[in-house]
């Protein structure tokens, strides 16, 4: 039996995003660990905070975790930009990942407002 948050589209998209970034950073050359680590942590933080927020009883607690998740999504944007500038990510990959982040952020904004 799944946890209720596992049925949320935003949670599914966030897990997919974390998986994409994890696979992407596996190919990064040595010397870029700081980018690999930061991007993977921020990406994972999105889905982890959605899950943790859904485990809270009080609305304000839930909303706080959804805000943290949204902040983690925003955190990924400059990291991806630096990865593109360093040639670690192709421009079309960056655009696609930013689109994913935009979708996730909008969905999180909806949860926050709800």
Indicate which CATH number applies to the domain containing 79. Answer: 1.20.1440.60
Closest of 59, 57, 98 to residue 77, by C-alpha: 98
Walk along the chain (114 residues) and give the pLDDT tens digit of each residue: 679 899 999 999 999 999 999 999 999 999 999 999 999 999 999 999 999 999 988 989 999 999 999 999 999 999 999 999 999 999 999 999 999 999 999 999 999 998
| Residue 1: per-residue pLDDT | 66
- Euclidean distance between CA atoms 21 and 80, whole angstroms: 10
| Residue 114: per-residue pLDDT | 80
> What residues make up the domain containing 106?
4-113
Q: How many domains does the structure of the chain reveal?
A: 1
């Amino acid at each position: 039996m799944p946890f209720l948050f596992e049925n949320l589209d935003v949670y599914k998209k966030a897990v997919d995003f974390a998986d994409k970034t994890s696979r992407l950073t596996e190919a990064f050359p040595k010397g870029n660990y700081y980018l690999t680590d930061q991007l993977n942590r921020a990406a994972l933080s999105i889905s982890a905070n959605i899950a943790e927020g859904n485990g809270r009883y009080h609305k304000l607690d839930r909303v706080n975790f959804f805000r943290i998740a949204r902040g983690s999504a925003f955190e990924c944007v400059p990291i991806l930009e630096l990865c593109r500038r360093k040639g670690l990510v192709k421009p079309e990959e960056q655009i696609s990942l930013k689109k994913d982040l935009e979708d996730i952020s909008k969905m999180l904004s909806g949860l926050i407002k709800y």
